[in-house]
Structure 1
């Protein structure tokens, strides 16, 4: 009789746990993507008194200008989430390549480390504030480039630490002895063995991207995400939170649900990969 290992029995449960953890983020993302089509009113249309209570065609009440909070919520999430996803992919991808190259070619690694120290020491929010205030035409593209410059150096050091053990393994050393090119070593030998770190960092960079994009919007920096994105909703309606709490709580919960569920999914996936 063939025995079953405990990890084989538990793996379906882990997969279900990962799906349950990421389900809220997927639901909120789907609503954000389809939101403009599902919104009962125009996001900029005033339908009642400022900070009106829920009811009368406004399920979550109205905001400071009498606009439907639900319509603004459905209309204002896609730009924030899309920008955060682009930041996560660019930062994780570039940092992974930089970290692996730094390990495989120590001389290049010393130059990379020297060039990235400045961006690690300077707070990202301060750099974004300075650049976007003095160069407002940069918009979302400028925000993404700045997030890449400030996020990739720190992330690259994490990948370098993870790649150090892989680079000293026998098959990588054999490939180096055979004269394989640097791109071959990076993309065919090392990066495929960093799947767990890559997935974990992708999730974490997405959460950091949400933080940066929401902070830039909250500070009223010109990020061209629209006047009704979730962070702007929180900022503009904070003065009337006692009159209609949903004008602030709804967008805050949307941001928190995405961030927390992505973190939980990354943690669950990481545990499954290690086991």
Structure 2
């Protein structure tokens, strides 16, 4: 096997290393945060706090342990809600034979797609006061049009196959045709889009929380920590650098992990493919390879035949 076709484990391992630390801190950090201790002076280093204190004197490391879960859970919930709405809408757009129905589904999404996502969230937040659940719903809403745009082309090719028409003629239900056949054929494309979509959702959730949408001003949230502690950046940098680096590692690791996993899956058939070798002919009992009898189809030479025929 040539080294050009063998995918090295370096990229996949690097993605795991990048995403493991922020993901473990986000999911398991609250279990090890402990009880809050007495508050110290703002933006101090030392004094029993190895990462220092934040803008109100709280321990920075404890805030880091508590601040990852809201970001990760909100991003995962928003991504799941976006695809829960985008997959049925994309399948309807790909499988319907009624032009008015496709226009009814796609045109409102195009209008929503033209509005910048962060601007839409800020406009809604100016009227309402969304919490964590409201932020997840808003982020999911602004990601539905782009997700539908990814689902519909991925399923349109499978929807045009003769197998879909055969399933319809056999009386199969729309659910089995759309999800059981068309949806399954687009899983790889949707998985690639989900990695990019989750990265964008993480960025959008962190940016909205940084601007004060969906989180309290003193909440234990990585994005809120960056916003509230930036005034003491040059006095106590850990209060800003730790959550900022963790957010960057989470978004970068998510994108690399999905990309590396899909690359490994695409190259797996090439790695398992066996080289086809010619099968040798069976040997004769004497140990020699039998030579097939030659069939001479050359036309007879006139001179040789005349000499060998005694009647001429």
Distance 1:126 1:35, change over 3 A: same
Query: Is the aligned partner of 1:267 residue 2:259?
Result: yes
Deviation at 1:104? 0.6
What is aligned with 1:194?
186
What is aligned with 1:121?
114
Matches within 5 A, 1:25-44: 25-39=19-33, 42=36
Q: Distance in 2 between matches of 1:57 and 1:139?
A: 33
Out of 70, 82, 92, the residue aligned to residue 101 of structure 1 is 92
Q: Distance in 2 between matches of 1:121 and 1:265?
A: 30
- The SS at the match of 2:186 is helix
Residues 132, 142 of structure 1: 8 Å contact kept: no
Q: Distance in 1 between matches of 2:136 and 2:97?
A: 29
Deviation at 1:140? 2.2
Deviation at 1:6? 7.4
Residues 135, 213 of structure 2: 8 Å contact kept: no
Q: Which structure would you say has the larger Rg?
A: 2
Q: Distance in 1 between matches of 2:20 and 2:165?
A: 41
What is aligned with 2:69?
78
Out of 221, 236, 252, the residue aligned to residue 228 of structure 2 is 236
Deviation at 1:226? 6.7
More helix per residue: 1 or 2? 1
Residues 73, 251 of structure 1: 8 Å contact kept: yes
- The SS at the match of 1:76 is helix
Deviation at 1:40? 5.5
TM-score, with length taken from structure 2 = 0.77
What is aligned with 2:6?
10
Unaligned stretches of 5+ residues in structure 2: 268-312
What is aligned with 1:89?
80
Query: Is the aligned partner of 1:68 residue 2:59?
Result: yes
Deviation at 1:111? 1.3
Out of 131, 150, 155, the residue aligned to residue 142 of structure 2 is 150
TM-score, with length taken from structure 1 = 0.87
What is aligned with 1:58?
49
Out of 247, 254, 265, the residue aligned to residue 246 of structure 2 is 254
Residues 87, 205 of structure 1: 8 Å contact kept: no
Residues 81, 137 of structure 2: 8 Å contact kept: no
What is aligned with 1:176?
168
Q: Which has the higher contact order (CA 8 A, sep 6+)?
A: 1
Deviation at 1:83? 0.6
Deviation at 1:71? 0.7
Query: Is the aligned partner of 1:21 residue 2:12?
Result: no
Deviation at 1:70? 0.6
Deviation at 1:93? 3.3
Residues 26, 65 of structure 2: 8 Å contact kept: yes
- The SS at the match of 1:268 is helix
State the number of aligned residues. Answer: 265
Distance 1:223 1:182, change over 3 A: farther
Deviation at 1:20? 4.0
